[in-house]
Chains A and B, each alone.
Chain A
């Protein structure tokens, strides 16, 4: 079943930076992602792992979704990262470089073992898979359906374009991957997240990319700077006209239910169930971020 949790913004934080780990909650992204992988140098993997393990337990993160990007389980760091993340209480584990459904199954088996060992409720740790290669894109549907714990799949652009022997440009290079990942997520009824936009000074380019992925249907985007959160949330906010229409649809659906009618109608026209569901989603987003400015 599709989640009702909003995940427009997933803010990356380097796991090795204590100042950022202890203050990032003030920016109010929908999810905060503590990174133990690419943002942490090889010689600080052990210290970052412990910083994240303790930061996860801070009371300020109780009411915000926490995600930990671990190193691949095939490395010596990955299994220890997973221990720290699950035992620390991370809501979601983000697996990088997911190429096959077996990668997710292997992760889930390891999570179950840790949950049992540390007394955490089995099944309470959710998963997400980052797709970063041609293999991952081709296997996206199987990956997205590999575990009931998956809350979403994310496209990671940097490694993907290298694997495709190209480079980041106007988005053409990501066209197939974006569509494939998005369709896989929708088949599995989970969320889809777009790539990071790394040029912090190109606000126009960022907003153009956000508009593209919003219209495609992505739930949100990975972010590398808090400055991008408000821009993203505003771009995802519905217009006043959309909110007004959604209110009328939801009101009509509520009245139809009260009257015991199976069919919802508005202004003499029948309203289908997916339209009602979409209207409810519009109102949820409006409640979270207001109306688009």
Chain B
């Protein structure tokens, strides 16, 4: 899947995460900022990387501002932002698990 336009999903409210995606020609750039970076930074990055890999996102810019979201919320917001900004024809639910 390819990101073709700027898009975002989520909020900066507690227990949520704001995800912004933008197209770019270079390799995939992921920026993660989190209020719980020290405790869960590694886990958040793992969830972000896994979710983007399943969506086959290999280029573009992805910015994740976490406010203490659960893994399932991070996945949902990332997927929503990518689907909003991506070239999607028909939704393959298996990659959203």
Determine how close the nearest CB of chain B comes to the CB of A102; give it in whole angstroms. Answer: 27
Q: Contact at A87–B72, with CB atoms within 8 Å?
A: no
Determine how close the nearest CB of chain A comes to the CB of B11; give it in whole angstroms. Answer: 8
Known contacts A22-B72, A51-B73: A83-B79 contact under CB 8 Å: no
Known contacts A47-B9, A58-B72, A83-B93: A18-B84 contact under CB 8 Å: no
Known contacts A19-B13, A19-B15, A19-B16: A47-B77 contact under CB 8 Å: yes
Please, how many angstroms separate the alpha-carbon atoms of A47 and B79 in the complex?
Answer: 8
Interface of chain A residues 10 through 47 with chain B (CB within 8 A):
18-19, 21-23, 46-47
Known contacts A18-B73, A46-B84, A47-B80: A53-B96 contact under CB 8 Å: yes
Determine how close the nearest CB of chain B comes to the CB of A142; give it in whole angstroms. Answer: 33
Determine how close the nearest CB of chain B comes to the CB of A89; give it in whole angstroms. Answer: 11
Q: Contact at A51–B13, with CB atoms within 8 Å?
A: no
B51-95 CB contact bits vs A (8 Å, 1 = yes)? 000000000000000000110110111011001100000010100
Q: Contact at A55–B72, with CB atoms within 8 Å?
A: yes
A68-90 CB contact bits vs B (8 Å, 1 = yes)? 00000000000010011001000
Contact of B96 among A21, A22, A50, A55 (CB under 8 A): A50
Q: Contact at B70–A53, with CB atoms within 8 Å?
A: no
A240 on the B face (CB < 8 A): no
A247 on the B face (CB < 8 A): no
Q: How many residues of A contact B (CB 8 A)?
A: 19
Closest-by-CB residue of B relative to A83 is B93
B14 on the A face (CB < 8 A): yes
Closest-by-CB residue of B relative to A18 is B73
Please, how many angstroms separate the alpha-carbon atoms of A23 and B15 in the complex?
Answer: 10
Closest-by-CB residue of B relative to A117 is B93
Contacts of A87 in B (CB 8 A): 93
Q: Contact at A50–B93, with CB atoms within 8 Å?
A: no
Contacts of B80 in A (CB 8 A): 46-47, 50
- Pull 25 A–B residue pairs with CB atoms less than 8 Å apart, ordered by A: A18-B15, A18-B69, A18-B70, A19-B13, A19-B16, A22-B70, A22-B72, A23-B15, A46-B80, A47-B9, A47-B10, A47-B80, A50-B75, A50-B79, A50-B80, A50-B96, A51-B72, A51-B73, A53-B76, A53-B96, A54-B72, A54-B76, A83-B91, A83-B93, A87-B93
